[in-house]
Chains A and B, each alone.
Chain A
Amino acid sequence: MYKVSRWSAVSTQTVLVGWAVIVIFPMIWMIYSSFKTDQELFFSPWAPPMELQWDNFARAWTKAHVGDYLLNTLIVVIPALLLTLIISAMAAYVLARFEFVGRRFLFYMFLSGMLFPVFLALIPLFNLVNQLKMLNTFHGLILVYIAYSLPFTIFFLTGFFKTLPTEIEESAIMDGANPYQVFFKVMLPMASPGLISMGIFNFLGMWNQYVLPLVLISDESKYMLSQGLAFMLFKQFYENDWSALFAALTIIMVPTLIVYITFQKQIQDGITTGALKG
């Protein structure tokens, strides 16, 4: 490799460290601020707390129901994610490996869903979910999450199935396996890197989803996480409890951070391969 001058190495590190501080510091500030009293928040924004106000977290957890929002989000996201993967993989397999009338049309129909702004559909979607008697239900939200994750997941997995070698599949058919066995025993395991990418990509999308639950869930006890957080923000405008809001942000951010650091390699790969195929 070519030589890098000492000066250039130092300036590179300065820029990199500088940006790292800009990324990290707001979060560190948020975490230690969540231990302060409202008075301290207002009068000494930089200072660490005089004593740790664990009560902020208690209020955020119980009064502001952050714990419930976390649980609700898991109840919806886990089944939605698994079903998205299996339903998309089935459709993508057929689209990638079979020739039939209308195949192109179907593929483009799914593809078009990636381009619509969700806002366009909100009110009609609400009407529909209401007619199906699924408003304020977790299963209603799960079905909607799946439907809105399908376009990209199918698009991605179709590309993925196309790249898989055909020999193994053909030899399985020769051995007398029926199409279902071929799919579940042979193709699905082979597609697992693609499924993992899509799993991570969709998990983050669903975990942070804001607009869909805003319209489909109006019962406060069934709020999703982002929705609950925004609700706390608007409520805080009337209730003067800034420290609990900081605590809630911390409660939400710290697990995300831990999960992220643990799986950072897979998460980055998942998101970027997802993004690059799009």
Chain B
Amino acid sequence: MKKSEISRRRFIEYTGAAGMGIGLSSVLPQISLAKTGIKVASGAANPLGLASNTQAEGVFFSGGFGHAYIEYAAEIFGEVHPGSSMSVEGIQRVGERLRPRIIAGNPPDVIDNSGAGNLDTGALVGEGELMDLGPLMSATALDTPGKTFGETLFPGSQNSGLFDGVQRYVNIAFTVFGVWHSKSLFDEKGWNYPTTWDGMLSLCDTIKTSGIAPWTYQGKYPQYMLFGLLEPIVSKIGGPQIWKDVDNLVPSAWEHPAMLQALNMMKALHDNGYIMEGTPGLTHTESQAEWLQNKAAFIPCGTWLENEMRSITPGGFNMVIKPVPSDDASRLSWIDASSGEPFMVFSNGKNPVAGMEFLRCLLSKESAKWFAQNVGSIMPVVGGAEGVDLSSAMTSALAAVDNAGPNILDRPSFPGWYSDIYSEVKDSMGALLTGRASAEEFIERVQGASDDVREDEDIVKFKRT
């Protein structure tokens, strides 16, 4: 198993969540600003050389995290650079909204390219639309004295933004992926989270007899079952090379026996009637709402779930996240965790420097703490959760990462690189989970899409190791 660059003890140290955070910041002189209380390290006010009185524009996907945290970062931006400002607009369906502006050569300075209907990242990189963020990575960090911006981020957290060695975007949310359940419900019923997939199936049987559907998933968006189940199960059974081969478009990569085994394990949920009735007709928030009403026991998701559903979560629900079990109980604790929510700066925007400077503010320690406190998730910023009280969901996520120790699983990059393969995976996943496709057919369809991409010389290819 590939060792993640965040080792177990280091992780706790990085987040500062368990109260072990080391006060890195007390030695050098700082300037403290009134409104947000951010302490700007000396010589760190303007390393990128932002021109005075810059009025910059940011457009951001507003999804599970909301966009209040971006407004807070814009406040920091305005405070560090009096006279300058960053406007903040929260939107959905980023692609439809922004593509016309990109064609017109009039993109915003900085964007969050996430959510359904976002821009095809592979095409943006291939066409040279995105700024090289190297200068940002090596700039002095805003409120962590003596460090560069890049050094203040979790090691490895920005790897997915590297295209042929150049940093094209930065990820701003550290997300743990897994299977969620209500601790209260499980305690009440006396159910225990299983350690193997066979255990999962027999628990599902028990749950079903009690009148609750064992599983649901984000129906119209079956890709949640890709990152929630398929990715970790395949890695647990077959090791880390499989997803690398998939990303590198190695012929027959999808035909690996572990893939087949994992798909068949998932298909058992449908074959045994464990998936909640009506699931395929629901959107993600609708299926999550059903799950919050205890209509279903398990749902796959990332750690944004808690904030996304905050307004309609019943009191005492106690949601917790667990790693997905596989064939071997000893690998239960291995978990998918990575940084996501890519923020990008356009190379031909009016103020690329302002875009980068904004990201320096957004991923400052002060902003990270605000995010942990108010959004209930964490940024991949060292010490970003110092002294913050975390919810049961986030606590369980951090405990899961802690238990995983060095076994943080690597996630595939093909969804961002090759939208054609990703589309085929979504469609085939829906077909598999509704019994319309066998595991073999899933593999045949997706391998076909992968072969098409490999042979299409107009699609820019990327490599990873």
Direct contact of A and B (CB under 8 A): yes
Binding site for B on A (CB under 8 A): 38, 42-43, 123, 126-127, 130, 135, 214-215, 218, 220, 231, 234-240
Give the nearest-CB partner of B89 in chain A. A220
User: Within 8 Å CB of B309, what residues of A?
Assistant: 240
- Assembly CA distance A43 to B289 (angstroms): 11
- Assembly CA distance A130 to B63 (angstroms): 29
Q: Are A214 and B96 in contact (CB under 8 A)?
A: yes
A123-B103, A130-B106 known; A234 and B93 CB under 8 Å?
A: yes
Within the complex, the shortest CB–CB distance from B154 to chain A, in Å, comes to 26
Q: Are B103 and A127 in contact (CB under 8 A)?
A: yes
User: Within 8 Å CB of A123, what residues of B?
Assistant: 100, 103
- Assembly CA distance A214 to B96 (angstroms): 8
Q: Are A127 and B104 in contact (CB under 8 A)?
A: yes
User: Within 8 Å CB of A215, what residues of B?
Assistant: 100
Report which of A127, A220, A238 forms a contact with B308, defined as CB distance below 8 A.
A238
B311 at the interface (CB under 8 A from A): yes
User: Within 8 Å CB of A218, what residues of B?
Assistant: 97-98, 100-101
- Assembly CA distance A237 to B282 (angstroms): 10
Report which of A127, A220, A236, A237 forms a contact with B116, defined as CB distance below 8 A.
A237
Contact string, B81-118, partner A, CB cutoff 8 A, digits 1/0? Answer: 00000000101110011101101101000000001110
Q: Are A42 and B289 in contact (CB under 8 A)?
A: yes
Within the complex, the shortest CB–CB distance from B279 to chain A, in Å, comes to 15
Report which of B63, B97, B104, B289 forms a contact with A238, defined as CB distance below 8 A.
B63
User: Within 8 Å CB of B308, what residues of A?
Assistant: 238, 240
Give the nearest-CB partner of A131 in chain B. B104
Q: Are B92 and A235 in contact (CB under 8 A)?
A: yes
User: Within 8 Å CB of B311, what residues of A?
Assistant: 239-240
Give the nearest-CB partner of B293 in chain A. A42
- Assembly CA distance A231 to B311 (angstroms): 20
User: Please, could you name 12 A-B residue pairs with CB atoms under 8 Å apart, sorted by A?
Assistant: A42-B290, A126-B103, A130-B106, A135-B100, A218-B100, A220-B91, A234-B92, A234-B116, A237-B92, A237-B116, A238-B285, A240-B311
- Assembly CA distance A270 to B300 (angstroms): 53
A-B contact count (CB 8 A): 53
Contact string, B45-77, partner A, CB cutoff 8 A, digits 1/0? Answer: 000000000000000001110000000000000
User: Within 8 Å CB of B91, what residues of A?
Assistant: 220
B312 at the interface (CB under 8 A from A): yes
Within the complex, the shortest CB–CB distance from A201 to chain B, in Å, comes to 28
Within the complex, the shortest CB–CB distance from A119 to chain B, in Å, comes to 13
User: Within 8 Å CB of A234, what residues of B?
Assistant: 92-93, 116-117
User: Within 8 Å CB of A237, what residues of B?
Assistant: 92, 116, 283-285
Q: What is the total number of residues of chain B having a CB less than 8 Å from a CB of chain A?
A: 28
Q: Are A130 and B89 in contact (CB under 8 A)?
A: no
- Assembly CA distance A211 to B412 (angstroms): 35
- Assembly CA distance A235 to B62 (angstroms): 9
Give the nearest-CB partner of A238 in chain B. B63
User: Within 8 Å CB of B115, what residues of A?
Assistant: 238
- Assembly CA distance A58 to B319 (angstroms): 32
User: Within 8 Å CB of B63, what residues of A?
Assistant: 238
Within the complex, the shortest CB–CB distance from A224 to chain B, in Å, comes to 15
Known pairs A43-B293, A240-B309 / 4 extra A-B pairs, C-beta < 8 Å: A126-B103, A130-B100, A220-B89, A240-B311
Give the nearest-CB partner of A235 in chain B. B92
- Assembly CA distance A38 to B311 (angstroms): 11
- Assembly CA distance A218 to B100 (angstroms): 9
Give the nearest-CB partner of A126 in chain B. B100
Contact string, B170-192, partner A, CB cutoff 8 A, digits 1/0? Answer: 00000000000000000000000
Within the complex, the shortest CB–CB distance from B450 to chain A, in Å, comes to 29
By Cβ-Cβ distance, the 5 closest A-B pairs, closest first, are A130-B104, A234-B92, A126-B100, A238-B63, A240-B312
Which residues from 219 to 255 on chain B have a C-beta closer than 8 Å to any C-beta of chain A?
A: none
Within the complex, the shortest CB–CB distance from B35 to chain A, in Å, comes to 26
Within the complex, the shortest CB–CB distance from A239 to chain B, in Å, comes to 8
User: Within 8 Å CB of B100, what residues of A?
Assistant: 123, 126, 130, 135, 215, 218
Give the nearest-CB partner of A123 in chain B. B103
- Assembly CA distance A218 to B89 (angstroms): 11
User: Within 8 Å CB of A238, what residues of B?
Assistant: 62-64, 92, 115, 285, 308
User: Within 8 Å CB of B103, what residues of A?
Assistant: 123, 126-127
Residue of A218, A235, A237 most packed against chain B (CB within 10 A): A237
Q: Are B96 and A240 in contact (CB under 8 A)?
A: no
User: Within 8 Å CB of A126, what residues of B?
Assistant: 100, 103-104
- Assembly CA distance A123 to B312 (angstroms): 40
User: Within 8 Å CB of A135, what residues of B?
Assistant: 100, 104
- Assembly CA distance A43 to B294 (angstroms): 13
- Assembly CA distance A237 to B286 (angstroms): 8
Q: Are A231 and B312 in contact (CB under 8 A)?
A: no
- Assembly CA distance A187 to B115 (angstroms): 56
Within the complex, the shortest CB–CB distance from A69 to chain B, in Å, comes to 16
User: Within 8 Å CB of B283, what residues of A?
Assistant: 237
User: Within 8 Å CB of B290, what residues of A?
Assistant: 42
User: Within 8 Å CB of B117, what residues of A?
Assistant: 234
Residue of B64, B92, B93, B100 most packed against chain A (CB within 10 A): B100
- Assembly CA distance A250 to B394 (angstroms): 39
Q: Are A240 and B93 in contact (CB under 8 A)?
A: no
Give the nearest-CB partner of B313 in chain A. A240
Within the complex, the shortest CB–CB distance from B259 to chain A, in Å, comes to 30
Within the complex, the shortest CB–CB distance from A150 to chain B, in Å, comes to 24
Give the nearest-CB partner of B117 in chain A. A234
Within the complex, the shortest CB–CB distance from B64 to chain A, in Å, comes to 7
- Assembly CA distance A236 to B62 (angstroms): 11
Q: Are A38 and B312 in contact (CB under 8 A)?
A: yes
Give the nearest-CB partner of A216 in chain B. B100
User: Within 8 Å CB of A236, what residues of B?
Assistant: 285
User: Within 8 Å CB of A214, what residues of B?
Assistant: 96
Give the nearest-CB partner of A231 in chain B. B92
Q: Are A240 and B92 in contact (CB under 8 A)?
A: no
Give the nearest-CB partner of A215 in chain B. B100
Within the complex, the shortest CB–CB distance from A240 to chain B, in Å, comes to 5
Within the complex, the shortest CB–CB distance from B320 to chain A, in Å, comes to 21
- Assembly CA distance A10 to B115 (angstroms): 54
- Assembly CA distance A220 to B96 (angstroms): 13
- Assembly CA distance A43 to B295 (angstroms): 11
- Assembly CA distance A236 to B312 (angstroms): 13
- Assembly CA distance A179 to B234 (angstroms): 81
- Assembly CA distance A127 to B105 (angstroms): 10
- Assembly CA distance A93 to B285 (angstroms): 56
User: Within 8 Å CB of B92, what residues of A?
Assistant: 231, 234-235, 237-238
Report which of B89, B116, B289 forms a contact with A240, defined as CB distance below 8 A.
B289
